[in-house]
């Protein structure tokens, strides 16, 4: 039976504020990037937000990482003693739930997992999909998902102050 923490995504207050700001700055385009934790953090608290350029030809409705930037960013993570925990993207006018395109995107549909040094001390680690909805100008909604044997599973998002 999975531990209760396997159903939870934890992020620092500073990181969640940065995530929201970066997504708002990209409007009307979809923002995208990586989320990471300290490699020595056994709780895997998301504490680093690394924006990436959205190179999709239709960035208002889709996202795509630049392959060279992707490699540079992963190298930077390993050199900075951070571990990749997930990816984020925004839905400028949609809800914080996976679209049909999200569900078939190679990042999510192949049960992505990574090996050291990007996954922390546990070895293989399932990655998380963070979706930031900017549909309501009064509030920013964030949902986090991970792949499971039954499809995508929504995680409980917990913000902590450090």
60 is known as an active-site residue: no
The whole-angstrom separation of Cα 162 and Cα 160 is 6
6 CB-side CA count, 13 A: 9
Options 14, 26, 30, 159, the catalytic residue: 30
What's the token pair of residue 97?
A: 């739930």
- Contact call for residues 127 and 114 (beta carbons, < 8 A): yes
DSSP string, 79-103: HTTEEEEEEEEEESSS-SS--HHHH
Known catalytic residues are 30
């Amino acid at each position: 039976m999975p531990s209760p923490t396997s159903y939870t995504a934890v992020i620092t207050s500073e990181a969640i504020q940065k995530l929201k700001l970066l997504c708002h700055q990209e409007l009307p385009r979809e923002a995208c990037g990586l989320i990471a934790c300290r490699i020595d953090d056994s709780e895997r608290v998301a504490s680093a937000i690394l924006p990436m350029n959205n190179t999709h030809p239709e960035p208002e409705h889709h996202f795509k990482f630049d392959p060279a930037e992707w490699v540079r960013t992963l190298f930077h993570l390993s050199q900075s003693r951070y571990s990749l925990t997930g990816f984020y993207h925004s839905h400028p006018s949609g809800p914080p739930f996976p679209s049909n395109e999200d569900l078939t995107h190679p990042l999510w549909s192949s049960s992505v997992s990574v090996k050291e040094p990007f996954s922390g001390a546990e070895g293989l680690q399932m990655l998380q999909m963070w979706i930031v909805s900017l549909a309501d100008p009064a509030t920013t909604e964030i949902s986090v998902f991970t792949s499971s044997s039954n499809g995508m599973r929504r995680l409980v998002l917990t913000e902590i102050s450090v």
